[in-house]
Amino acid sequence: MDRYEIVAAITAERDHQDEKWGTEFDDKNTPNDWIAYLTMYVGRAVTMPWNRMQFRIAVLKVAAICFAILEREDYAPRHYDVQALMSHDTKSSHEEHGNPVG
């Protein structure tokens, strides 16, 4: 398989993941969630005795998950930017109590 065929296979797997899980599911993942998924599929690639097809399928899923992560490069502030989270919580708190924000 050449590089273009590999990218096509990763894209096909990525499309399959979107069809199965939808983009809303991915949008809710934290960086820790993504690492857990990667770790799970990397683990599935390890077999005794070695199974070429299982290895290839697992690595293909890992590559597609990496694409999904990169498609969501703006997720980090949502989960880890403390100031953004505090600002959102303050706005929400004011709005809940009927106080204007701003």
Q: What is the mean pLDDT of the chain?
A: 82
75 pLDDT band, cuts 50/70/90, is low
pLDDT in tens, 45-63: 999 999 999 999 999 999 9
Length of the chain: 102
